[in-house]
Chains A and B, each alone.
Chain A
Amino acid sequence: MSRRTSPVIPGFGLTLGYTLVYLSLLVLIPLGAMFAHAAQLSWAQFWAIVSAPRVVAALQLSFTTALFAALLNGIVGTLLAWVLVRYRFPGRKIIDAMIDLPFALPTAVAGIALTALYAPAGLVGQWAQALGFKIAYTPLGITLALTFVTLPFVVRTLQPVLEDIPREVEEAAACLGAKPWQVFRYVLVPAVLPAWLTGFALAFARGIGEYGSVIFIAGNMPMKTEILPLLIMVKLDQYDYRGATSIGVLMLVVSFVLLLLINLLQRRIEKR
């Protein structure tokens, strides 16, 4: 291994060795074991499992709900980040501190709270009931739960970027005759887009894998409101290790691709 070490700072071998051993034992070997387990299946067997209607329905549901939740966060999160960075108003500090609540709150607590809120008899649910639609136990409820747990991603990735844009840039554009929408379109959007996409991708990736906050509000009806992580649990409960492993591999590949995209985006931001 070629390395350029500082000649006077000790500990390279010790810290790198410890890091590698710890990561291997806890993360890499167990994840590798799952792939090894899946490799015992032939392609045809694997394909038969992941193309079963119930799996495809769960995959579609997980994808669309995570996508809509990430989009909703892309809008609400941008609004919150903008207001928190640009304006000083009563309660700003409280909102800023509380944005991270979904990360600090156990997902099961979020799950039962949102279910109580959106169930037909709940505080918000009864209004929806009166208007003739249901929130809890439908994909809409799943989307709202995912929006809650992934709320901090977009806000927290946008905040530092917005802070770095000097107000003068927008004012200069306005002086040069740009209309507000032109300032928004040609000055702000290009500056924040990479960060926005990173936050969006993080929220999306988390949404696909999320379990605790969703299972209470989902209703968990096969083919209708059953998310992909739950399907792994169902297969495990039936001692269907092959099924669980195949779906696990499918999900991991999806998250690897997303992780790769996030890293590429971040590299582009750093290059600027």
Chain B
Amino acid sequence: MSTVTLAAISAARRGHALGRTLLIAAAWLAFALLLLLPLYIVLSEALKQGLGTFFTALIEPDALSALKLTLIAVAISVPLNVVFGLAAAWCVSKYEFRGKSLLVTLIDLPFSVSPVIAGLIYVLLFGAQGFFGPWLQDRDIQIIFAVPGIVLATVFVTVPFVARELIPLMQEQGSQEEEAARLLGASGWQMFWHVTLPNIKWGLIYGVVLCTARAMGEFGAVSVVSGHIRGVTNTLPLHVEILYNEYNHVAAFSVASLLLALALCILLLKQWSESRLTRLKSNAAEE
């Protein structure tokens, strides 16, 4: 390289040094103002009256029953969407068929639907004035303003998470390993358990983590179908809303900080599975 171009490069880099410092400072400032400040507020408001009131808010019966319902919603929606994600990713990544891109778009659909609409559609189907309303009433089955409605709404908003992580991953990996397993005499299930699953493990975990985060924190969709019956149809985010609207701010922020702690755990898990995933990919690239 000639000295002229080297000089040009070093001049460009020197010019960058000041800009670089300014940009990093600006990024830190934006990060602190936009993300750290809200976190600080949640914790400081929760602990305003000391640890005693903080823990009382967490162990009162309504909070515990809200926690229980949130766990139920997560425990049903996550496994359902894991099975769906596996099936969807399998047929999209292993086969060619007409309408595949349409199918992928439909899988993503719940992401672009407002959570309030997610609740609304189930009210229109199963509510007292809904399509199945009279039929359900005759049989004394309640879906809306009851636990099944909350579970349904949660499942709806979390449909795409696992499929969305698995589809690109499995498309990238191709199907040679599965074909080899089959030709060596493995049955379909053996191939799935011993070849496919270990290959997609980290992508699957990543999808589950994202799915859990959304299932745990969903507010709009659940709010429409819940009816806000204390101790019966309240999830943790709805419980936060009720406490807040009752001007019980310390209790609201105490429950909120429990959800914040869970969100931070989710971020750690996500970071961990993501790093395993990139390591796996770079290993594959080296081979």
> A residues near B, CB below 8 A?
1-6, 8-12, 14-16, 18-20, 22-23, 26-28, 30-31, 33-34, 37, 76, 79-80, 82-84, 87, 89, 91, 95, 97-110, 112-114, 116-117, 122-124, 147-148, 151, 170-171, 174-175, 180, 205, 208-212, 216, 229-230, 232-233, 236, 239, 241, 244-245, 248, 251-252, 255-256, 258-259, 263
Contact A209 B259 (CB under 8 A): no
B52 within 8 A of A: no
Q: What is the chain B residue whose CB lies nearest that of A113?
A: B38
In the complex the two chains form, what is the Cα distance from A212 to B118 in whole Å? 13
Q: What is the chain A residue whose CB lies nearest that of B28?
A: A91
A3-B96, A105-B259, A105-B260 given; name 15 further pairs at CB < 8 Å: A5-B96, A8-B178, A16-B95, A33-B131, A34-B121, A82-B23, A91-B28, A104-B213, A108-B238, A109-B256, A112-B252, A113-B45, A114-B38, A210-B220, A255-B113
Contact A9 B120 (CB under 8 A): no
B266: which of A9, A22, A104, A147 is its contact (CB, 8 Å)? Answer: A104
- The SS class assigned to the B binding surface is helix
Contact A31 B24 (CB under 8 A): no
Q: Using Cβ atoms and an 8 Å threshold, which residues of chain A touch B24?
A: 83, 87, 89
In the complex the two chains form, what is the Cα distance from A270 to B124 in whole Å? 39
User: How far does the Cβ of B188 sit from chain A's closest Cβ, in whole Å?
Assistant: 4
Contact A9 B28 (CB under 8 A): no
Q: Using Cβ atoms and an 8 Å threshold, which residues of chain A touch B110?
A: 27
Contact A97 B271 (CB under 8 A): yes
Sample 29 A-B pairs with CB under 8 A, ordered by A number: A6-B175, A11-B188, A15-B88, A19-B87, A19-B91, A23-B107, A26-B155, A26-B159, A27-B156, A28-B106, A83-B24, A100-B270, A101-B264, A106-B219, A106-B240, A106-B263, A109-B260, A114-B38, A116-B249, A117-B37, A209-B112, A209-B115, A211-B115, A212-B223, A232-B114, A232-B116, A232-B120, A233-B116, A251-B117
Contact B263 A245 (CB under 8 A): no
Q: Using Cβ atoms and an 8 Å threshold, which residues of chain B touch A89?
A: 24
B30: which of A31, A80, A100, A252 is its contact (CB, 8 Å)? Answer: A80
Binds A, one of B8-16, B54-62, B197-205: B8-16
Give the residues from 1 to 43 in chain B that come closer than 8 angstroms, CB to CB, to chain A. 5, 8-9, 12, 15, 20, 23-24, 26-28, 30-31, 34-35, 37-39, 41-42
Q: Using Cβ atoms and an 8 Å threshold, which residues of chain A touch B256?
A: 108-109, 112-113
User: How far does the Cβ of A271 sit from chain B's closest Cβ, in whole Å?
Assistant: 14
User: How far does the Cβ of B171 sit from chain A's closest Cβ, in whole Å?
Assistant: 12
Q: Mark B146-188, 1 if CB is under 8 A from A, else 0.
A: 0000001001100100000000000000010011001100001
With A105-B217, A212-B237 given, is the CB distance from A12 to B91 under 8 Å?
A: yes
B193 within 8 A of A: no
Contact A211 B219 (CB under 8 A): yes
- The SS class assigned to the A binding surface is helix
Q: Using Cβ atoms and an 8 Å threshold, which residues of chain B touch A26?
A: 152, 155-156, 159
Give the residues from 250 to 264 in chain B that come closer than 8 angstroms, CB to CB, to chain A. 252-253, 256, 259-260, 263-264
B280 within 8 A of A: no
Q: Using Cβ atoms and an 8 Å threshold, which residues of chain B touch A230?
A: 116
B105 within 8 A of A: yes
With A98-B267, A236-B123 given, is the CB distance from A175 to B8 under 8 Å?
A: yes
Interface size on B, residues (CB 8 A): 95
In the complex the two chains form, what is the Cα distance from A31 to B237 in whole Å? 25
With A37-B124, A101-B263 given, is the CB distance from A15 to B87 under 8 Å?
A: yes
Q: Using Cβ atoms and an 8 Å threshold, which residues of chain A touch B238?
A: 108
User: How far does the Cβ of B91 sit from chain A's closest Cβ, in whole Å?
Assistant: 4
Contact A1 B98 (CB under 8 A): yes
User: How far does the Cβ of A256 sit from chain B's closest Cβ, in whole Å?
Assistant: 8
B103 within 8 A of A: yes
Q: Using Cβ atoms and an 8 Å threshold, which residues of chain B touch A8?
A: 178-179, 182-183
In the complex the two chains form, what is the Cα distance from A5 to B98 in whole Å? 12
